């Protein structure tokens, strides 16, 4: 029973010590909140848990429920908390700006927007120097798609199967997993073979996937495309890192077909992958357009598109406007995020803690056959569970059971991938080696209890 599991787990597994006391909570309790959520909020696929937790406070890599129970947040509000929950410097920047001015729109000047845009542009390679602020990842990809179509004069967009690029009516077209798709017109979007080293039919052979991309353009389009969009490590798709060398080949093919290349850095940007600040850097490419959200704001509703002056110039044909994009509070917070990531050396920290985590998880593969694959980079890690290693049969039910058991133990991980059989470990970037060890020990325990 759950009670026995709780007891067993608490005997064997203790969360690493953390010196913070949550405030006593006197607000509405879980049953009440859940009942009202069901009544007043639209139905959501995000019933990760039978009964969701009532999370009332957060501090760095930890969350607290209504009873003051502490949880290790290994999913960071869907890969969004970069610096840490309520990081003092980010919080202070938001509060100080909020006291002075919360909103004006870009029809007036405000230094916070310019400060943030300048600092963000300084993080970009090549000629990626023009910034547009929006409020989410979907909006960023929507704008990028518009830019690609206007700039090239072509319509066709290409994305990779297993990608998630948003849930707006236009970006659902770019998203390529049936779990997220409604039967709506998607415009001209082509989904090409995913260079997935674990499940892809060509393994890690980037050139075979690139040939399929070329074939698709030759046989499935007019020969001209507007743009190609890809994450370097697919997030919702289950932390699938594209086969090494693929993006370089794909970008060449797309440019020859008259298109522009868009890197979706919504999940893998902002130091998370450890080896680089941006995910695309690990493939040695410079995109024409980069989209970002999530980690950029440490929880603030904020997104951005960064591109070259030449591509940006097409947007000047008409009025281009976004009411909230880059409002002073979000800009002040976003600027603080960039400062904190630098000051706290989060990129090298992600590299170190992430490789420790991946190496320990890989060693568990010798003990537990249910672990089919351990992959990722830095603190963007996927663990894929299978009932049969040769057939790679998704261990769906087992993944759900272990996910519940993790919550009982006190760890919140993401569950995802096309088949719902992947644990996604993508914590706030202040996650420590002790936290990583705790996750591995908990996994060892949870598997042994299956």
- Quote the least distance from Cβ 164 to ligand PLP, whole Å: 5
The residue (of 307 and 370) whose beta carbon lies closer to ligand PLP is 307
Check binding of 165 to ligand PLP (CB under 6 A). yes
Check binding of 138 to ligand PLP (CB under 6 A). yes
> What is the x/- site pattern for ligand PLP, positions 75-94, by CB under 6 A?
---x----------------
Check binding of 424 to ligand PLP (CB under 6 A). no
- Quote the least distance from Cβ 106 to ligand PLP, whole Å: 20
Give dist(CA 75, CA 90) in Å, integer: 19
Give dist(CA 232, CA 244) in Å, integer: 10
In contact, 325 and 134? CB cutoff 8 Å: yes
> What is the x/- site pattern for ligand PLP, positions 221-250, by CB under 6 A?
----------x---xx--------------
Give dist(CA 214, CA 201) in Å, integer: 17
> What is the x/- site pattern for ligand PLP, positions 248-267, by CB under 6 A?
----------------x-xx
Residue 372 buriedness (CB in 10 A; 0-12 / 13-18 / 19+): buried
The residue (of 325 and 410) whose beta carbon lies closer to ligand PLP is 325
Check binding of 166 to ligand PLP (CB under 6 A). yes
Residue in this structure with the two tokens 């985590």, named with its chain if needed? 357
Which residue has its beta carbon closest to ligand PLP?
Answer: 137
* Six token digits for residue 61: 């890599």
* Six token digits for residue 276: 């680089």
Check binding of 66 to ligand PLP (CB under 6 A). no
Crossing angle between the packed helical segments 433-448 and 2-12, to the nearest 10 degrees: 140
Phi and psi torsions of 368, nearest 5°: -120, 110
DSSP type of residue 193: P
Computed from CA positions of residues 76, 81, 85, 87, in that sequence, does the dihedral angle turn out positive or negative? positive
DSSP type of residue 194: P
> What is the x/- site pattern for ligand PLP, positions 280-319, by CB under 6 A?
-------------x--------------------------
- Quote the least distance from Cβ 268 to ligand PLP, whole Å: 8
Residues lying near ligand PLP in the complex (CB under 6 A): 78, 136-138, 141, 164-166, 231, 235-236, 264, 266-267, 293
């Amino acid at each position: 029973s759950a009670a026995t599991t709780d007891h067993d787990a608490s005997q064997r597994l203790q969360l690493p010590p953390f010196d913070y006391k949550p405030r006593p909570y006197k607000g509405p309790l879980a049953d009440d909140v859940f009942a009202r959520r069901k009544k007043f909020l639209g139905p959501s696929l995000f019933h990760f848990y039978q009964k969701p937790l009532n999370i009332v406070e957060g501090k760095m890599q930890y969350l607290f429920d209504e009873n003051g129970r502490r949880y290790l947040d290994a999913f960071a509000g869907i890969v969004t908390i970069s610096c840490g929950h309520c990081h003092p410097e980010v919080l202070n920047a938001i509060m100080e700006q909020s006291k002075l001015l919360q909103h004006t729109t870009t029809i007036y000047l405000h230094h916070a927007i310019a400060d943030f845009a300048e600092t963000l542009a300084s993080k970009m390679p090549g000629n990626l120097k023009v910034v547009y602020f929006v409020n989410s990842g979907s909006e960023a990809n929507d704008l990028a798609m518009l830019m690609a179509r206007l700039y090239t004069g072509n319509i066709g967009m290409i994305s990779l199967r297993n990608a998630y690029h948003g849930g707006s009516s236009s970006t659902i077209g770019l998203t390529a997993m049936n779990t997220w798709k409604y039967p709506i017109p998607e415009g001209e979007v082509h989904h090409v073979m995913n260079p997935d080293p674990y499940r892809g039919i060509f393994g890690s052979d980037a050139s075979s996937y690139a040939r399929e991309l070329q074939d698709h353009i030759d046989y499935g389009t007019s020969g001209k495309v507007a743009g190609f969009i890809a994450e370097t490590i697919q997030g919702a798709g289950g932390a699938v890192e594209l086969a090494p060398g693929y993006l370089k080949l794909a970008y060449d093919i797309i440019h020859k077909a008259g298109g522009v290349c868009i890197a979706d850095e919504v999940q893998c940007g902002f130091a998370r992958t450890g080896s680089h600040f941006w995910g695309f850097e690990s493939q040695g490419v410079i995109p024409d357009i980069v989209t970002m959200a999530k980690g950029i704001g440490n929880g603030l509703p904020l997104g951005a598109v960064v591109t070259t002056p030449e591509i940006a110039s097409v947007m000047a044909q008409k009025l281009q406007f976004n009411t909230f994009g880059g409002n002073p509070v979000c800009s002040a917070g976003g600027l603080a995020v960039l400062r904190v990531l630098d000051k706290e050396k989060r990129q090298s920290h992600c590299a170190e803690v992430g490789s420790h985590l991946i190496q320990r998880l890989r060693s568990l593969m010798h003990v537990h056959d249910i672990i089919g694959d351990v992959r990722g980079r830095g603190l963007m890690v996927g663990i894929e569970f299978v009932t049969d290693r040769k057939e790679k049969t998704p261990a769906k039910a087992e993944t759900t059971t272990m996910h519940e058991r993790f919550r009982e133990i006190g760890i919140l991980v993401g569950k995802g991938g096309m088949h719902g059989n992947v644990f996604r470990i993508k914590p706030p970037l202040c996650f420590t080696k002790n936290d990583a060890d705790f996750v591995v020990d908990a996994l060892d325990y949870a598997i042994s209890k299956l």
